[in-house]
Structure 1
Protein backbone atom coordinates (compact mmCIF):
# COMPACT_ATOMS: atom_id res chain seq x y z
CA UNK A 1 0.00 0.00 0.00
CA UNK A 2 1.42 3.36 -1.05
CA UNK A 3 0.42 6.10 1.42
CA UNK A 4 1.18 9.69 0.40
CA UNK A 5 2.16 11.73 3.46
CA UNK A 6 1.27 15.40 3.79
CA UNK A 7 1.17 17.91 6.61
CA UNK A 8 3.31 20.18 8.73
CA UNK A 9 5.48 19.10 11.65
CA UNK A 10 6.30 21.71 14.28
CA UNK A 11 9.15 21.67 16.74
CA UNK A 12 11.45 23.84 18.80
CA UNK A 13 15.14 23.48 17.98
CA UNK A 14 18.16 24.81 19.76
CA UNK A 15 21.48 25.35 18.02
CA UNK A 16 24.12 26.86 20.26
CA UNK A 17 22.43 29.65 22.19
CA UNK A 18 19.70 30.22 19.61
CA UNK A 19 16.21 28.79 19.87
CA UNK A 20 13.92 28.73 16.86
CA UNK A 21 10.60 27.40 15.67
CA UNK A 22 11.12 24.52 13.25
CA UNK A 23 8.52 23.60 10.63
CA UNK A 24 8.72 20.78 8.08
CA UNK A 25 6.14 20.79 5.31
CA UNK A 26 5.52 17.56 3.43
CA UNK A 27 3.45 16.66 0.36
CA UNK A 28 0.56 18.76 -0.89
CA UNK A 29 -0.90 20.70 2.03
CA UNK A 30 -4.66 20.73 2.51
CA UNK A 31 -7.17 22.92 4.33
CA UNK A 32 -7.55 20.10 6.87
CA UNK A 33 -3.80 20.28 7.58
CA UNK A 34 -4.20 23.97 8.42
CA UNK A 35 -7.28 23.32 10.58
CA UNK A 36 -5.02 21.17 12.75
CA UNK A 37 -1.83 23.22 12.70
CA UNK A 38 -3.23 26.78 12.91
CA UNK A 39 -4.47 26.53 16.54
CA UNK A 40 -1.09 25.08 17.53
CA UNK A 41 0.80 27.95 15.92
CA UNK A 42 -1.66 30.50 17.34
CA UNK A 43 -1.17 29.05 20.82
CA UNK A 44 2.62 28.86 20.54
CA UNK A 45 2.91 32.48 19.41
CA UNK A 46 0.16 33.96 21.61
CA UNK A 47 2.43 34.96 24.48
CA UNK A 48 5.46 36.01 22.45
CA UNK A 49 6.22 39.65 23.10
CA UNK A 50 10.00 39.88 22.88
CA UNK A 51 12.35 38.72 21.56
CA UNK A 52 10.69 38.00 18.28
CA UNK A 53 10.68 34.46 16.93
CA UNK A 54 13.18 32.97 14.51
CA UNK A 55 11.88 30.14 12.31
CA UNK A 56 13.37 27.47 10.09
CA UNK A 57 11.05 26.08 7.42
CA UNK A 58 12.08 22.86 5.67
CA UNK A 59 10.35 22.70 2.29
CA UNK A 60 12.46 19.91 0.80
CA UNK A 61 9.47 17.52 0.80
CA UNK A 62 6.80 20.13 0.02
CA UNK A 63 4.94 19.63 -3.25
CA UNK A 64 2.59 22.61 -2.85
CA UNK A 65 -0.86 23.55 -1.57
CA UNK A 66 -4.44 22.94 -2.49
CA UNK A 67 -6.08 26.29 -3.29
CA UNK A 68 -7.91 26.66 0.04
CA UNK A 69 -4.74 25.64 1.93
CA UNK A 70 -2.76 28.34 0.10
CA UNK A 71 -5.31 30.87 1.37
CA UNK A 72 -4.97 29.42 4.89
CA UNK A 73 -1.19 29.84 4.68
CA UNK A 74 -1.57 33.43 3.48
CA UNK A 75 -3.95 34.39 6.31
CA UNK A 76 -1.74 32.67 8.89
CA UNK A 77 1.20 34.75 7.64
CA UNK A 78 -0.82 37.96 7.86
CA UNK A 79 -1.93 37.16 11.41
CA UNK A 80 1.56 36.38 12.74
CA UNK A 81 3.86 38.26 10.35
CA UNK A 82 4.86 40.86 12.93
CA UNK A 83 6.00 38.23 15.44
CA UNK A 84 9.00 36.99 13.44
CA UNK A 85 12.53 38.35 13.49
CA UNK A 86 13.90 35.95 10.86
CA UNK A 87 12.47 33.16 8.75
CA UNK A 88 14.89 30.87 6.93
CA UNK A 89 13.29 28.71 4.26
CA UNK A 90 15.31 25.92 2.77
CA UNK A 91 14.14 23.88 -0.13
CA UNK A 92 14.98 22.34 -3.45
CA UNK A 93 12.48 23.77 -5.92
CA UNK A 94 12.82 27.06 -7.83
CA UNK A 95 9.23 28.15 -7.04
CA UNK A 96 10.05 28.04 -3.30
CA UNK A 97 12.58 30.84 -3.68
CA UNK A 98 9.97 32.92 -5.55
CA UNK A 99 7.40 32.33 -2.78
CA UNK A 100 9.95 33.32 -0.13
CA UNK A 101 10.36 36.67 -1.92
CA UNK A 102 6.59 37.19 -1.92
CA UNK A 103 6.47 36.25 1.77
CA UNK A 104 8.75 39.21 2.54
CA UNK A 105 5.84 41.51 1.75
CA UNK A 106 3.81 40.10 4.67
CA UNK A 107 6.48 39.43 7.31
CA UNK A 108 7.95 42.32 9.30
CA UNK A 109 11.22 40.44 9.89
CA UNK A 110 13.73 39.09 7.41
CA UNK A 111 12.86 36.17 5.11
CA UNK A 112 15.56 34.36 3.17
CA UNK A 113 15.69 31.24 0.99
CA UNK A 114 18.47 28.65 1.13
CA UNK A 115 19.25 25.39 -0.64
CA UNK A 116 21.24 24.15 2.37
CA UNK A 117 19.91 23.52 5.87
CA UNK A 118 23.28 24.40 7.38
CA UNK A 119 23.40 27.76 5.55
CA UNK A 120 19.86 28.48 6.79
CA UNK A 121 20.80 27.67 10.40
CA UNK A 122 24.01 29.72 10.17
CA UNK A 123 21.98 32.70 8.95
CA UNK A 124 19.44 32.33 11.77
CA UNK A 125 22.30 32.22 14.28
CA UNK A 126 24.12 35.21 12.71
Structure 2
Protein backbone atom coordinates (compact mmCIF):
# COMPACT_ATOMS: atom_id res chain seq x y z
CA UNK A 1 0.00 0.00 0.00
CA UNK A 2 1.23 3.48 -0.88
CA UNK A 3 -0.03 6.45 1.12
CA UNK A 4 0.82 9.81 -0.49
CA UNK A 5 2.01 12.49 1.95
CA UNK A 6 1.45 16.15 1.10
CA UNK A 7 4.69 18.06 1.65
CA UNK A 8 3.88 21.38 0.02
CA UNK A 9 7.00 21.09 -2.15
CA UNK A 10 6.09 21.28 -5.84
CA UNK A 11 8.54 18.73 -7.20
CA UNK A 12 8.51 16.21 -4.33
CA UNK A 13 6.46 13.01 -4.25
CA UNK A 14 6.45 11.71 -0.71
CA UNK A 15 4.86 8.45 0.40
CA UNK A 16 4.66 5.92 3.20
CA UNK A 17 4.80 2.40 1.86
CA UNK A 18 3.79 -0.78 3.68
CA UNK A 19 2.46 -4.24 2.93
CA UNK A 20 2.38 -5.19 -0.75
CA UNK A 21 2.68 -2.63 -3.54
CA UNK A 22 -0.16 -3.15 -5.99
CA UNK A 23 -0.60 -1.98 -9.58
CA UNK A 24 -3.16 0.65 -8.53
CA UNK A 25 -0.69 2.00 -5.94
CA UNK A 26 1.84 2.72 -8.68
CA UNK A 27 -0.92 4.16 -10.86
CA UNK A 28 -1.57 6.79 -8.14
CA UNK A 29 2.00 8.10 -8.50
CA UNK A 30 2.13 8.29 -12.30
CA UNK A 31 -0.12 11.39 -12.68
CA UNK A 32 1.87 13.11 -9.91
CA UNK A 33 5.03 12.60 -11.98
CA UNK A 34 3.31 14.09 -15.02
CA UNK A 35 2.15 17.15 -13.07
CA UNK A 36 5.71 17.88 -11.95
CA UNK A 37 7.36 17.44 -15.36
CA UNK A 38 4.63 19.54 -17.05
CA UNK A 39 5.89 22.43 -14.90
CA UNK A 40 9.42 21.87 -16.22
CA UNK A 41 10.78 20.34 -13.00
CA UNK A 42 12.62 17.13 -12.23
CA UNK A 43 10.93 14.79 -9.75
CA UNK A 44 12.22 14.11 -6.23
CA UNK A 45 10.98 11.09 -4.26
CA UNK A 46 10.82 10.39 -0.53
CA UNK A 47 9.74 6.81 0.19
CA UNK A 48 9.34 5.77 3.82
CA UNK A 49 9.09 1.97 3.97
CA UNK A 50 7.80 0.27 7.09
CA UNK A 51 6.54 -3.32 7.20
CA UNK A 52 7.02 -3.46 3.42
CA UNK A 53 6.58 -6.94 1.98
CA UNK A 54 7.43 -6.08 -1.63
CA UNK A 55 5.40 -5.96 -4.83
CA UNK A 56 2.70 -8.02 -6.39
CA UNK A 57 3.73 -9.10 -9.89
CA UNK A 58 1.39 -6.57 -11.53
CA UNK A 59 2.63 -3.84 -9.17
CA UNK A 60 6.25 -4.60 -10.03
CA UNK A 61 5.51 -4.58 -13.76
CA UNK A 62 3.66 -1.24 -13.51
CA UNK A 63 6.56 0.28 -11.56
CA UNK A 64 9.04 -0.85 -14.22
CA UNK A 65 6.87 0.69 -16.96
CA UNK A 66 6.54 4.04 -15.14
CA UNK A 67 10.25 4.20 -14.27
CA UNK A 68 11.39 3.30 -17.78
CA UNK A 69 9.16 6.02 -19.23
CA UNK A 70 10.37 8.69 -16.78
CA UNK A 71 13.85 7.69 -15.61
CA UNK A 72 15.41 10.87 -17.04
CA UNK A 73 12.76 12.97 -15.25
CA UNK A 74 13.99 12.01 -11.76
CA UNK A 75 16.43 14.14 -9.73
CA UNK A 76 16.78 12.76 -6.19
CA UNK A 77 15.38 9.72 -4.39
CA UNK A 78 15.43 9.11 -0.65
CA UNK A 79 14.61 5.56 0.42
CA UNK A 80 13.96 5.24 4.16
CA UNK A 81 13.65 1.71 5.45
CA UNK A 82 14.25 -0.92 8.05
CA UNK A 83 15.58 -3.94 6.18
CA UNK A 84 18.84 -4.78 4.42
CA UNK A 85 17.04 -5.77 1.19
CA UNK A 86 15.55 -2.26 1.04
CA UNK A 87 19.04 -0.78 1.18
CA UNK A 88 20.13 -3.15 -1.62
CA UNK A 89 17.09 -2.12 -3.64
CA UNK A 90 18.09 1.54 -3.30
CA UNK A 91 21.62 0.69 -4.44
CA UNK A 92 20.24 -1.18 -7.44
CA UNK A 93 18.07 1.82 -8.31
CA UNK A 94 21.14 4.05 -8.09
CA UNK A 95 22.91 1.78 -10.58
CA UNK A 96 20.14 2.13 -13.20
CA UNK A 97 19.51 5.86 -12.99
CA UNK A 98 21.44 9.10 -13.21
CA UNK A 99 19.38 10.38 -10.26
CA UNK A 100 21.00 10.90 -6.89
CA UNK A 101 19.79 8.01 -4.71
CA UNK A 102 20.38 7.56 -0.98
CA UNK A 103 19.19 5.03 1.55
CA UNK A 104 18.49 6.01 5.16
CA UNK A 105 17.57 3.83 8.12
CA UNK A 106 14.11 4.49 9.55
CA UNK A 107 15.55 6.20 12.62
CA UNK A 108 17.29 8.69 10.29
CA UNK A 109 14.11 9.79 8.48
CA UNK A 110 14.49 13.43 9.57
CA UNK A 111 17.95 13.47 7.98
CA UNK A 112 16.44 11.98 4.82
CA UNK A 113 13.74 14.66 4.74
CA UNK A 114 16.40 17.37 5.08
CA UNK A 115 18.49 15.80 2.30
CA UNK A 116 15.62 15.39 -0.18
CA UNK A 117 14.44 18.99 0.25
CA UNK A 118 17.91 20.52 -0.18
Matched, 1:47 2:41: no
Q: Secondary structure in 1 aligned to 2:98?
A: coil
The aligned runs of 1:1-126 (5 Å cut-off) are 7-14=1-8, 20-34=12-26, 36-50=27-41, 52-115=42-105, 116-126=108-118
Kept after mapping to 1: 8 A contact 2:13/2:32: no
How many residue pairs align between the two structures? 116
- Structure 1 residue 58 displacement after superposition: 0.8
- Structure 1 residue 111 displacement after superposition: 0.8
**What is the distance in 1 between the residues matched to 2:53 and 2:62?**
16
Cα RMSD between the aligned structures?
2.4
Q: Deviation per CA, 1:75-117: give whole Å up to 9, x if none.
A: 2211222112111010101110111111123332101110121
TM-score for the superposition, normalised by structure 1? 0.76
Closer, same or farther in 2 for the Cα pair 1:121/1:79, shift >3 Å?
same
Quick check: which has more Rg, 1 or 2? 1
In the alignment, structure 2 segments of 5+ residues that lack a partner are none
